[in-house]
Structures are given as structure tokens and as C-alpha cells.
């Protein structure tokens, strides 16, 4: 008998690495706000999983409220199309593994991204068919833990597990009262995670879907 009835995934560092594409989009957004386009891959990769306001504080702390609004609006208007066209790097075996997991579990995504980001992911890689739903901070204004809880309650999930790659993901899962599996191949490090997937394809064995 399976322990879980559903799986909720983080996106960045768990299903894909989109930093290369997002850096290009952010630099275009910086230009639109009159800021020198100096965003780098390393700089942005350290911010993956954070909400947009936290990214502003880290990478352009001296930006004005008006500049931040312009950047956020540029991304809102262009993110889905840009990511849909450019995509990201899917981790090895993502679609094959999702197909196997879908046979036994309901699948969801909860991310701290803006609204349109997950849609860009779906558009670029055609994976929407595997997911029963998604939620993000850009759509609800809620924290990741609150969004995990929202999806759990809204979808009537009894025993969900959250899969993510950062300490924030671990904390958010705990706040929502759900178990956690670490995507150890992603961007972050989590010392206290008891279950780890060293690669995405490990999930079929961890979740007994061989």
C-alpha cells in the first residue's frame, strides 16, 4: 500500500534549470527599467526559489520602487512567451519519470514564481498533461508553505509529499504539514532531509513506482 496519494513538486532546481533563459529575460527587464543589464548565471542561481521581492533585495538593492515595478511588469508581460520559446534544461529522465509517477499519483507544482512562469515551463516542454494543477506566489500572494497547504486543501489531497531542492522548500513543507523529499541534484543544500533523490529518476524507486 502506498504511503502517499499525491506529489507536489517545486519547479526550479527540481524539474528544470531555467537560469540561462531567465538571466536573458531579467537583463532585458533591467534595461526596460533603466538599469545596467549585469545579471549573471551565478548571481541568479543563488536566488532561485525566492520570491521576486527577495530577489530584488539581493541583486539590485538600490533600485527604486518604480524600477522594481517596471521590472516585474516586464517579466509579467513577456515571461510566458520568452520561456515558452527558449525553455530551460530539463533534468535527465523528467518526462519518463513523470509518466511513471502519474500512473500512481496525482501530480502538482507549487513554486514561488510569478504567474505565467509555470505556463512558460509547460509551453516549452509540453509537460502540462502530467499535472493535475499548480499554484504560485505570483497568483496568490502567499508563501510557499501556504500555497502547499492551499493546494492540499483545495484538491482534497490526503497524503501529499513535497519535492524540492532548497532549505526553504524543506521549511515550507514542514509548515504545510507534509513530508519532504530532497532533490539533491538541484540548487540548494538541506542538512536535515531524511529522504534524498540524487537524480530525478530515483523518484520511481523512492516512491515505489518501478
Task: State the Cα–Cα distance between residues 94 and 90, nearest whole angstrom.
Answer: 7
pTM of the model: 0.87
Relative orientation angle of helices 117-125 and 65-86, to the nearest 10 degrees: 10
- C-alpha cell read off for 118: 509555470
How many other CB atoms are there within 10 angstroms of residue 66's CB atom? 10
Query: Averaged over 176-183, what is the pLDDT?
Result: 97
Question: For cell 509551453, what's the residue?
Answer: 123
Indicate whether 75 pLDDT > 90. Answer: no
Residue length of the chain: 210
Question: pLDDT class for 1, splitting at 50, 70, 90?
Answer: very low
Amino acid at each position: 500500500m502506498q504511503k502517499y496519494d499525491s506529489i507536489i513538486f517545486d519547479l526550479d532546481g527540481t524539474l528544470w534549470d531555467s537560469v540561462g533563459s531567465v538571466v536573458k529575460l531579467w537583463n532585458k527587464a533591467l534595461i526596460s527599467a533603466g538599469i545596467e543589464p549585469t545579471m549573471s548565471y551565478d548571481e541568479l542561481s543563488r536566488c532561485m526559489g525566492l520570491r521576486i521581492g527577495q530577489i530584488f533585495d539581493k541583486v539590485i538593492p538600490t533600485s527604486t520602487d518604480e524600477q522594481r515595478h517596471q521590472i516585474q511588469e516586464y517579466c509579467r508581460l513577456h515571461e510566458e512567451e520568452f520561456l515558452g520559446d527558449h525553455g530551460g534544461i530539463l533534468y535527465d529522465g523528467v518526462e519518463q519519470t513523470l509518466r511513471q509517477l502519474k500512473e500512481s499519483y496525482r501530480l502538482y507544482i507549487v513554486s514561488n514564481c510569478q504567474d505565467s512562469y509555470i505556463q512558460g515551463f509547460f509551453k516549452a516542454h509540453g509537460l502540462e498533461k502530467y499535472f493535475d494543477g499548480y499554484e504560485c506566489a505570483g497568483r496568490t500572494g502567499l508563501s510557499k508553505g501556504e500555497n502547499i497547504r492551499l493546494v492540499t486543501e483545495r484538491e482534497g489531497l490526503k497524503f501529499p509529499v513535497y519535492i524540492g531542492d532548497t532549505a526553504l522548500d524543506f521549511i515550507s513543507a514542514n509548515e504545510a504539514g507534509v513530508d519532504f523529499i530532497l532533490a539533491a541534484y538541484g540548487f540548494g543544500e538541506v542538512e536535515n532531509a531524511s529522504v534524498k533523490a540524487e537524480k530525478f529518476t530515483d523518484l520511481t524507486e523512492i516512491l515505489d513506482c518501478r
